[in-house]
Amino acid sequence: MSTAFQPMSPDEKDRFRSAYLAHLRARDGVPDLAAQRFDIRERFFARIDASPLCWKGTPPVDQGIFDRNYSRSSPERGLDEATLWALATAKTNRAERFGVEREFEAHGVPANAAEDPHVYIQVEEFYHTRILEDALAAVGVRMSVSKPGFTTQMLVRTMVHLPDDLSDVMVLCGEIVGVAIFSLLLGKARTLFAAQPEALARVETLFAQILVDEVGHVHFVRSRLTAFQLGWAKRLLPLVAHGALEDLPELVLLFGRKEILRHAVAADVDAAAAPYPDRFVVNAA
Ligand SMILES: [Fe+2]
Ligand SMILES: [Fe+2]
């Protein structure tokens, strides 16, 4: 059963915050929001950079077709699954990254950054773009960072300036939808790229990082909400999921709208991180 909407008592919230902060410190190290980096996390990427790995032979995705479609709001007709996967993967963290950038512009670095889980989450979102770039590189695709579609940009800008107790309800929904999308993409990668186990293993390692982070984000936002707000988040989740899909037509073509919504609304975030020993376990809080 989903824990994503379970309210926490004030005591549980206190315990959660200190346990989550300890988890973030051990996982990421010291956050540097202005430089968008963590000291410990950099070591993970140094290992990835030290062993560049690429698809052997003809990549499953044609770079020219990818580039042409990446700049379009909806893809050309008739693209194969691997190309749709690459496009959806490249586009899927754009809204979160855009939100974090606008937030940073609007609020800067808080005084007690190293004590604030929210700062860690912001830096993790920057890493997610890098992770997705590396995942695409493993299947032979180069991508550059781009902005989400116009409507998503407007929505994100509005959310950044809403009072916290309103925006957090929407943010919780966004994080839950993110977990659903990343776990669907990972599942699809397993069937699409099984022919080259090394490349697939790299995609698995990178997606594991994102899934562990994102499930932590869900529980952190949940810990900031009251039972009343969580009730609203549950009701608004299908709407937010629909909105997110407007900007990800490749994902809809790959899985079908119904399947994505079913997965998102189930909100089974703990199952998504269950295989990973470095995940944050809420009950241990
Ligand atoms: Fe993310
Ligand atoms: Fe997130």
10-55: pLDDT as tens digits = 999 999 999 999 999 999 999 988 888 999 999 999 999 998 877 8
- Decide if pLDDT at 115 tops 70: yes
User: In this predicted model, what pLDDT tens digit does every residue of 63-83 receive, in sequence order?
Assistant: 999 999 999 989 999 999 999
Q: Tell me the C-alpha to C-alpha distance, in Å, between residue 156 and each of 98, 100, 116, 179, 189.
A: 8, 9, 22, 18, 29
Q: Which ligand is closest in space to the CA of residue 131?
A: 1
Ligand nearest to the CA of 126: 1
- Going from the Cα of 224 to the center of ligand 2, the distance in angstroms, rounded, reads 15
Radius of gyration of the chain (CA): 18
Any bridge partners for residue 31, and if so which? 38
Percent of the residues in the chain that have a pLDDT greater than 90, as a whole number: 73
For the chain, give the mean pLDDT: 92
Q: What CATH number was assigned to the domain covering residues 10-284?
A: 1.10.620
Which residues are CB-neighbours of 90 under 8 A, at least 6 positions away?
66, 70, 132, 136, 141, 143, 146
d(CA 244, ligand 2 centre) in Å: 14
**C-alpha triplet 271, 280, 133: angle, nearest 5°:** 80
pLDDT at 285: 46
Q: Angle at which helices 227-246 and 150-161 pack, to 10 degrees?
A: 160
Ion ligand 2: residues, CB < 5 A: 175, 214, 217
Show me where the domains of the chain are located.
10-284
**pLDDT number for residue 206:** 96
